[in-house]
């Protein structure tokens, strides 16, 4: 059947729950009367000891068995040692058939490929896949298709009982002897623990793995003791160099800067640039650089943002310190500057992923956005965005909060170069729809800007402002003229991944390419 | 009236870098030069020439495109001309110009190609960079050696080296003194010949403050524009060359009374009790052209 994003979706997918096709950004509601899922009731009485001697002991203590689902957070990014370390220990114990459901994968998780090959892991549910693991899971059939969810969609799935986490292994930069955790102290400090907070609250069993075990209690507390079953001290949970680079620098790439300058002008004129506005800028080069140009406009017009959200980068903390943003909500801290700001500035708040982006709660922060500026691997004439698969159809990206923020914001701005190398980035149809075009308002490229025709209001506001406005078809034609129209990829019928929209419907499927 | 093309920024793009060539037009430079000279290694000369040829032939650019050839005294100069002229660049930029003969030589080659390819005669222009004291001594001769001449430019680093000193940076008092006379002499020659004067590149990309000072200084000296090697400098250069609202207002009034006088066939033109003569009209036109290019003056006509 064809879903509301125009994608051919099979009526059923082997190894996947009942297929509900995507019906529109806000069309699919929680079932009437449905209640939130929750972890098992447990009690820990005075005098109990949560400290265990090793990861092996913890695996035994939490009763991990074949077929269970385990989770991890990705706050340590490419510095993470926890996921690979724990899965190696699980494999040594001979446990098999596990579903691995981290908040995302990064390059460092390429080490997990053998465990998929050996059957220790048989399914993956994640926000993103990269590098060799992404290639492996696109080109090989494991037990079940990989489920790709947005950050908000993952929390929704957990709370709706669709993703049931048996054991969450939480890398804890600082943990006290009774299980209170924060991410702002310790050698593996990563700042916000926004994704881990959800897993700690919702998993049946929570194991904290730390290299900075301190006396009870700590301050501040991000994950409280009453959610944590066991604590294991290890030598090292993460490499600070891979977790964060000092302060993320605004790009010097002239093309990204050019796109950013145009995006800032779109923000200035689109109609929501007013005292007290709210924004999110993605972590891509052009999105971050948009903040640099927006700063000049905010200073000139004396306009202050009430809040900024999302993953947070250093340049945003500078805006907070300058008084150009009143408060930051931080689900993921991208550099050391941000970690320091979260630790030291009370107006820089840590918040969890349901607060950020869950479509099925009583109002995530994305709902209050005026603007979001995000990147794209490619976009198409229906304003659909792909951030998930490359030009060979291989998974190499992450949905992250992209579809969540796009759905929430009054004006969603997507930045992308018109060509990458010689490949057109505005096409007839994207390879994979990761964010539906109905939630995307403006495409900013280095050679022109297209406004979604359903947003006549934005178009009217942006006309006569010296912006290179054109139709999306004109952008596509220009891209094809310069780069040529690529031949369509040859795909098998075999579905290797399901791209869920944030409401749990099937937005698209990823088929194994015939390479 | 004389409509002069605006050349506030003249940006180089290395001819052997397809990514740069393809995107050279998107940054808003008034003029772009595809370079097959200094930024291209000897081993890459042929491939750069082919890339530049095909970029000129097949891509569309929103601005004027010139080609910096190797000097005609090098093994590549004439081959550059022969290969690249049929792709019809807007102008040829000659480095290290020292005599009018060089220009006349190039002019002849261009004329031949224009005839052969059926291009409009005189449509391909010439811009020359002055990099030596000899070139500077002959600057007026160079500037007037061909009707194709549109501008002379100073190659700052090379010129300083030929003076056995180095190019300094700093504000208009402490920096650039080594080029002060040369810059002014270049402007004199350009103005006498009735063509434009373009200043050399400022190479420290991170130092925006000194760049602003340097552009401000050369604007004061009379230069029409400045060369650059990175798109990040274009906005800064344009900002300095953008006239103030008072300047725009005055220029607008000058042109208005000038046109009224033309319409009334009146001989004497005055504004606020002051005589308006032709140089003031030309200056007013330049101010408004700059303002229009900067997007802060929208009236048509003037």
A275: left (phi over 0), alpha (psi -120 to 50) or beta: beta
Tell me the C-alpha distance between B154 and B172, whole Å.
17
Residue A446: per-residue pLDDT: 96
Residue B225: per-residue pLDDT: 96
The answer to whether residue B190 is domain-embedded is yes
The answer to whether residue B217 is domain-embedded is yes
Do B143 and B215 belong together in one domain?
yes
Do B160 and B269 belong together in one domain?
no
DSSP β-ladder status, A205-210 and A213-214: unpaired
Do B233 and B255 belong together in one domain?
no
DSSP codes joined into one string, B61-129: -SSEEEEEPPPTTSSSHHHHHHHHGGG--SEEEESS---HHHHHHHHHHHHHHHHHHTPPTT-SEEEEE
Most B-contacting residue of A251, A255, A292, A444 (CB-CB within 10 A), to test interface: A255
Contacts of B235 in chain A (CB under 8 A): 261
Nearest C-alpha in A relative to B296: A466
Tell me the C-alpha distance between A218 and B57, whole Å.
68
User: Per residue in A432-469, pLDDT tens?
Assistant: 999 999 999 999 999 999 999 999 999 999 999 989 99
Is A419's Cβ below 8 Å from some Cβ in B?
yes
Q: If contacts are CB pairs under 8 Å, which of residues 208-227 in chain B contact chain A?
A: none
Residue B295: per-residue pLDDT: 76
Residue B54 in this model has a pLDDT that exceeds 50: yes
For a pLDDT cut of 70, what percent of chain A falls above it? 100
Residue B175 in this model has a pLDDT that exceeds 90: no
Contacts A–B by Cβ distance under 8 A: 22
The answer to whether residue B196 is domain-embedded is yes
Is A80's Cβ below 8 Å from some Cβ in B?
no
Two structure tokens written together for A281: 């800028």
| Region of poorest pLDDT, from B12-26, B88-102, B152-166, B170-184 | B170-184
Residue B301 in this model has a pLDDT that exceeds 70: no
Nearest to A254 among B22, B27, B59 (CB): B27
Do B192 and B180 belong together in one domain?
yes
Query: By residue range, what is the domain housing residue B69?
Result: 9-241
Contacts of B295 in chain A (CB under 8 A): 466
Do B203 and B250 belong together in one domain?
no
Contacts of B231 in chain A (CB under 8 A): 254, 257-258
Largest CA distance in chain A: 73
Do B147 and B26 belong together in one domain?
yes
Do B268 and B227 belong together in one domain?
no
The answer to whether residue B281 is domain-embedded is yes
Report how far apart the first and last C-alpha atoms of chain A are (Å, whole number).
26
The distance of A252 to chain B (nearest Cα, Å) reads 8
- Asked if the Cβ–Cβ distance from B22 to A482 is below 8 Å, we say yes
Query: Directed axis angle between helix B234-241 and helix B208-221, to 10°?
Result: 40
Listed by start position, the domains of chain A span 51-243, 254-488
The distance of A248 to chain B (nearest Cα, Å) reads 17
* Beta strands, E only, A356-436: 371-375, 378-380, 385-386, 411-415, 419-420, 423-424, 426-427
Nearest C-alpha in A relative to B24: A255
Do B30 and B57 belong together in one domain?
yes
Is B232's Cβ below 8 Å from some Cβ in A?
yes
The answer to whether residue B299 is domain-embedded is no
Task: Answer with the residue of higher pLDDT: A384 or A143.
Answer: A384
User: Per residue in B114-123, pLDDT tens?
Assistant: 999 999 999 9
Residue B3: per-residue pLDDT: 55
A124: left (phi over 0), alpha (psi -120 to 50) or beta: beta
DSSP B5: P
Residue B270: per-residue pLDDT: 84
User: Per-residue pLDDT averaged across A201-227, rounded?
Assistant: 98
Nearest to B26 among A252, A446, A466 (CB): A446
Please report which confidence band the pLDDT of residue A249 belongs to, taking 50, 70 and 90 as the band edges. Answer: confident
Contacts of A421 in chain B (CB under 8 A): 19
Two structure tokens written together for A421: 């190398």
- Asked if the Cβ–Cβ distance from B23 to A482 is below 8 Å, we say no
Tell me the C-alpha distance between A341 and A326, whole Å.
14
Nearest C-alpha in A relative to B293: A466
- Asked if the Cβ–Cβ distance from B59 to A482 is below 8 Å, we say yes
Is B59's Cβ below 8 Å from some Cβ in A?
yes
Please report which confidence band the pLDDT of residue A67 belongs to, taking 50, 70 and 90 as the band edges. Answer: very high
Nearest C-alpha in A relative to B292: A466
Structural element, H or E, at residue B288: helix B278-293
Is A255's Cβ below 8 Å from some Cβ in B?
yes
CATH code for the structural domain at A254-488:
3.40.1080.10
Residue A299: per-residue pLDDT: 97
Please report which confidence band the pLDDT of residue B166 belongs to, taking 50, 70 and 90 as the band edges. Answer: confident
Do B251 and B141 belong together in one domain?
no
User: Per-residue pLDDT averaged across A125-133, rounded?
Assistant: 96
Residue B13 in this model has a pLDDT that exceeds 80: yes
Nearest to A466 among B59, B232, B295 (CB): B295
Is A464's Cβ below 8 Å from some Cβ in B?
no
- Asked if the Cβ–Cβ distance from A447 to B26 is below 8 Å, we say yes
| Cis before A415 (ω within 30) | no
User: Per residue in A276-322, pLDDT tens?
Assistant: 999 999 988 999 999 999 999 999 999 999 999 988 999 999 999 99
Q: What's the CATH fold of domain A51-243?
A: Glutaconate Coenzyme A-transferase (3.40.1080)
- Asked if the Cβ–Cβ distance from A257 to B231 is below 8 Å, we say yes
Q: What CATH number is given to the structural domain containing B160?
A: 3.20.20.60
Residue B170 in this model has a pLDDT that exceeds 70: no
Residue B2: per-residue pLDDT: 44
Task: Answer with the residue of higher pLDDT: B172 or A358.
Answer: A358
Global ipTM: 0.83
Is A257's Cβ below 8 Å from some Cβ in B?
yes
Is A252's Cβ below 8 Å from some Cβ in B?
yes
Nearest to A254 among B22, B59, B230 (CB): B230
Give the number of residues written for chain A: 515
Do B272 and B158 belong together in one domain?
no
Nearest C-alpha in A relative to B61: A447
Give the number of residues written for chain B: 302
Do B164 and B68 belong together in one domain?
yes
The tally of domains found in chain B comes to 2
The domains spanning A51-243 and A254-488 adopt the same CATH topology: yes
Residue B300 in this model has a pLDDT that exceeds 70: no
Residue B289: per-residue pLDDT: 84
DSSP codes joined into one string, A224-241: -GGG--EEEE-S-SB-HH
For a pLDDT cut of 90, what percent of chain A falls above it? 96
- Asked if the Cβ–Cβ distance from A254 to B231 is below 8 Å, we say yes
Is B274's Cβ below 8 Å from some Cβ in A?
no
DSSP B197: E
């Amino acid at each position: 059947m064809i879903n509301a994003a125009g994608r051919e979706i099979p009526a059923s997918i082997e190894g996947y729950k009942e297929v509900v096709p995507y019906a529109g950004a806000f069309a699919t509601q929680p079932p009437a009367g449905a209640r939130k899922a929750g972890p098992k009731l447990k009690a820990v009485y005075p005098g109990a000891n949560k400290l265990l001697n090793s990861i092996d002991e913890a695996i035994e203590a939490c009763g991990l068995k074949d077929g269970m689902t385990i989770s991890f957070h990705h706050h340590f990014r490419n510095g993470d040692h926890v996921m690979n370390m724990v899965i190696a220990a699980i494999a040594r114990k001979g446990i098999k058939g596990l579903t691995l459901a981290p908040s995302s994968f990064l390059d460092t998780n390429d080490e997990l490929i053998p465990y998929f090959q050996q059957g220790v892991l048989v399914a993956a549910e994640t926000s993103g896949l990269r590098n060799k693991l992404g290639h492996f899971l696109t080109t090989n059939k494991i037990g079940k298709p990989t489920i790709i969810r947005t950050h908000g969609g993952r929390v929704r799935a957990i709370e709706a009982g669709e993703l049931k986490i048996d054991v969450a292994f939480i890398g804890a930069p600082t943990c006290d002897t009774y299980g209170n955790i924060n991410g702002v102290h310790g050698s593996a400090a990563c700042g916000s623990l926004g994704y881990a907070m959800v897993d700690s609250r919702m998993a049946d069993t929570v194991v904290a793995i730390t290299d900075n075990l301190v006396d009870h209690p700590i301050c501040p507390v991000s994950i409280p003791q009453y959610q944590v079953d066991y604590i294991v001290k290890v030598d090292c949970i993460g490499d600070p160099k891979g977790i964060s680079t000092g302060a993320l620098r605004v790009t010097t790439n002239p093309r990204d800067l050019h796109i950013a300058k145009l995006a800032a002008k779109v923000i200035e004129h689109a109609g929501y640039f007013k005292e007290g506005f709210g924004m999110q800028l993605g972590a891509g080069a052009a999105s971050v650089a948009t903040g640099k140009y927006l700063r000049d406009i905010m200073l000139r017009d004396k306009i202050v943002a009430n809040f900024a959200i999302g993953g947070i980068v250093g340049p945003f903390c500078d805006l907070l310190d300058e008084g150009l943003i009143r408060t930051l909500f931080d689900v993921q801290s991208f550099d050391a500057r941000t970690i320091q700001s979260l630790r030291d500035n009370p107006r820089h708040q840590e918040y969890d992923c349901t607060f950020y982006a869950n479509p099925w709660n009583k109002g995530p922060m994305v709902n209050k956005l005026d603007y979001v500026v995000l990147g794209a691997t490619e976009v198409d004439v229906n304003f659909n965005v792909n951030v998930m698969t490359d030009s060979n159809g291989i998974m190499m990206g992450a949905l992250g909060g992209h579809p969540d923020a796009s759905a929430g914001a009054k004006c969603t701005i997507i930045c992308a170069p018109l060509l990458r190398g010689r490949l057109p980035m505005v096409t007839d149809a994207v390879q994979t729809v990761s964010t539906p075009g109905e939630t995307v308002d403006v495409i900013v490229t280095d050679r022109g800007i297209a406004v979604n025709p359903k947003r006549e209001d934005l178009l009217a506001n942006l006309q006569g402002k010296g912006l290179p406005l054109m139709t999306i078809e004109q952008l596509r034609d220009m891209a094809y003229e310069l780069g040529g129209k690529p031949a369509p990829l040859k795909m098998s019928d075999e579905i290797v991944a399901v791209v869920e929209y944030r409401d749990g419907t099937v937005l698209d499927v990823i088929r194994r390419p015939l390479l | 009236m004389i409509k002069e093309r605006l050349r506030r920024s003249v940006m180089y793009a290395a001819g052997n870098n397809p990514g740069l060539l393809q995107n050279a037009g998107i940054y808003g430079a008034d003029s772009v030069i595809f370079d097959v000279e200094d930024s291209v290694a000897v081993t890459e000369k042929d491939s750069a020439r082919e890339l530049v040829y095909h970029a000129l032939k097949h891509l569309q650019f929103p601005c004027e495109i010139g080609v910096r050839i190797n000097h005609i005294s090098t093994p590549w100069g004439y081959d550059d001309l022969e290969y690249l002229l049929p792709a019809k660049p807007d102008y040829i930029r000659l480095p290290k110009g020292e005599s009018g003969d060089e220009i006349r030589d190039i002019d002849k080659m261009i004329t031949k190609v224009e005839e052969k390819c059926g291009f409009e005669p005189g449509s391909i222009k010439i811009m020359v960079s002055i990099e030596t004291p000899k070139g500077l001594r002959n600057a007026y001769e160079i500037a007037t050696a061909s009707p194709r001449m549109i501008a002379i430019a100073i190659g700052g680093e090379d010129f300083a080296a030929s003076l056995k000193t180095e190019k300094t940076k700093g504000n208009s008092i402490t920096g650039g003194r080594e080029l002060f006379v040369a810059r002014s002499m270049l402007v004199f020659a350009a103005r006498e010949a009735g063509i434009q004067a373009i200043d050399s590149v400022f190479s420290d990309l991170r130092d925006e403050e000194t760049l602003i000072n340097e552009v401000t200084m050369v604007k004061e000296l009379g230069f029409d524009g400045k060369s650059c090697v990175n798109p990040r400098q274009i906005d800064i250069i344009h900002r300095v060359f953008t006239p103030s609202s008072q300047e725009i207002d005055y220029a607008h009034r000058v042109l208005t009374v000038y046109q009224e006088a033309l319409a009334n066939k009146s001989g004497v033109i005055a504004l606020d009790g002051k005589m308006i003569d032709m140089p003031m009209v030309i200056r007013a036109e330049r101010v408004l052209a700059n303002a229009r290019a900067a997007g802060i003056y929208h009236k048509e006509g003037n």
